[in-house]
Structures are given as C-alpha cells and as structure tokens.
Structure 1
Amino acid sequence: MKVLDEKNFPYRHECVIYEKASHYLAVPPECMRVNGKSEEALQKTLAKFMTMEAEYPAECRRARQESWDKLVAFFREW
C-alpha cells in the first residue's frame, strides 16, 4: 500500500486483513451450497483441509461474507 501511495497510484485501493479467515474468501453465499449440499456440509469439508475453517468456522463465515460484499461493492463502483 505504501508503494502505491508513494507512486500516486490513481485508483482506490485498500488493504484488508482478516485475522481469522481461511483462503476461501470472497465467495458468493450461493456457492456455499454445492451439488445440493448445505453450507454446513461444505464447511465440514473445508475444515478437513483448512485449519482456520476448523478452528474458527464462524469467523471464517463472517470474513467470507464481508470480503464478498467488499468485492461486489468495489466492482459496482466501476
């Protein structure tokens, strides 16, 4: 971010850090229900290979939703 600011990067930019989130961010809610399975079923699958999903499922869910909302809002600005 510092480099972008120093170089007067002309577009809006922001750094968002989710302390308790997995790599599965910015996913639309409807994609959490895959092949007729519930969101809970997918979360259990994610928890098997993503430590953060296993340890912090609620926080990961919130981060996923917030990051999706931020992404959609960003594209709507364009």
Structure 2
Amino acid sequence: MVDQLKKHVLTQGRPPKLSIKDQILLCLSYWREYRTLFHITTSYGVSEPTASRIVGHVKDWLIKSELIQFIKEL
C-alpha cells in the first residue's frame, strides 16, 4: 500500500512531519477505532488541522490508487 501511495504523493514543498506509513496508520486508526482527532494527535504528535488534512489526503490517494473503493451515496 505504501508503494502504491508514493506514486500519488507530491514531492514539492516542505517535507511532511510524518512518513507515508505513519500517515496511513493515522488515517486507518481514525476510521477503524472512531477516535477523535484530538486523541490521534496526541499519539502522533501533530496538530488537529494537520491530522484532518492527512485523513483527507490519504483518502484521496487511496481513491486515486484504486486500492480501496469507497461507497458513494446515491
């Protein structure tokens, strides 16, 4: 999964604080455990807006990579 997502990550700008692997784990723990962003941020050492951005980016990367299909509302 990490190798597939590396293809969709932009390499411009400031390097991310978390590795791609940690970003995926942050996102999956958010979805799986239904933890609040506050509790996730204490585990990963990032701010809430950053964690929210990471969740959005990982979701977009997963959709582009076609590794996971999300259910679309009708």
TM above 0.5, yes or no, is: no
Q: How high is the TM-score relative to the length of structure 2?
A: 0.45
Whichever of the two has the greater Rg, that structure is 1
Q: How high is the TM-score relative to the length of structure 1?
A: 0.43
